[in-house]
Amino acid sequence: MNRFTILMYHMISEPKTAAEVKYACRPKQFEQHLQMLLSAGFKPVSIDAVEDYYTLQKPLPDKAFLITLDDGFEDNYSNVFPILQRYKIPAVIYLATGLLGKTNQWMNAPTFSERKMLSWTQIQDMANHGIHFGSHTVTHPKLTELDDDRVSYELADSKQIIEDRLGAECRHFAYPYGLLTEKTRALVQQAGFKTACSTRSGFNNAERDPLMLHRIEVYGDDSTWKLKQKVRFGINDASLFFPLKYYSARLLARVG
Ligand SMILES: [Zn+2]
């Protein structure tokens, strides 16, 4: 089957508020997700391999999956990096460059707790060990609410600083809040990005626009069976009844 799956995570640490349960996955749980994917025959690929798939038509393995982490939380270094190294799994982390070394100021307190963001030293260490980095703008704004000049600044400035700090071209982007219009997409292309992740759910294939890739959002408290169902059907919300509804709808479609 010519399709691949991109998984979206944010924080990999203990949730500290009720709202964080969706966005903060405990490290042990995250590791169990990876173990399940590997034992179910899924093959980890990098964002560069996804780019090559679109630009060079270089095939991806069957059941390919890509790990993405949005925002650049410090726990990506302390909790995620060792696990990814242990299993030799690549990943891409999308950085809001203006917030690095600071805290998650764009998230509302007290709904969300204050969290430290990655430092450049940590990012450079991970980059030296195979983790990829993409842009997630400078200030994590809603791009659809900004004028074109401001959008272009958010794209170009974050791209430039990542390139300066890591000494390599930054070709990957993720839209904050998954928000975009045709215009935003055009500006992302103009800025020189080759892939861009949205938050629309579902699988990707050769027909998908590489600047509007779909992702499956993994919630912090997803059990392994839930994740298994999500990657099987390409959905964000797993439930015990989903397969039943899915197959009976297909059966009805065939009968009707
Ligand atoms: Zn974000």
Residue with tokens 């490290």: 27
Would you say 198 and 213 are in contact if contact means Cβ atoms under 8 Å apart?
Answer: yes
**What CATH number is attached to the domain comprising 238?**
3.20.20.370
Residue 1 has pLDDT above 70, yes or no: no
Using a 10 angstrom Cβ sphere, with 0-12 exposed, 13-18 middle and 19 or more buried, the burial of residue 147 is exposed
Q: How many other β-carbons are positioned within 10 Å of the β-carbon of residue 248? A: 10
CA of 9 to the centre of ligand 1 (A): 10
Q: How big is the CA angle at 199 (ends 45 and 164), to the nearest 5 degrees? A: 60
Can you name the residues that pair with 29 across neighbouring β-strands? none
Look at residues 106, 164, 168 and name the one whose alpha carbon lies nearest to residue 131.
Answer: 168
User: Which pLDDT value is given to residue 254?
Assistant: 73
pTM of the model: 0.95
If one counts the domains in the chain, the total is: 1
Which domain does 106 fall in, by range? Answer: 4-255
CA of 245 to the centre of ligand 1 (A): 32
**Mean pLDDT computed over 50-58:** 97
CA of 256 to the centre of ligand 1 (A): 43
CA of 136 to the centre of ligand 1 (A): 7
**Distances in Å between the alpha carbon of 85 and those of 22, 48, 65, 134?**
25, 18, 16, 19
User: Which pLDDT value is given to residue 255?
Assistant: 65
Percentage, residues of the chain above pLDDT 70: 99
Residue 175 CA to residue 165 CA, distance in Å, equals: 21
CA of 139 to the centre of ligand 1 (A): 10
Range name among 74-83, 102-111, 131-140 with the lowest pLDDT average: 102-111
The two tokens of residue 117 are 């963001």
Collapsing DSSP to helix, strand or coil, 51 comes out as: helix
CA of 176 to the centre of ligand 1 (A): 5
User: 122: number of CA atoms within 13 Å, CB side?
Assistant: 19
Mean pLDDT score of the chain, rounded to an integer?
Answer: 95
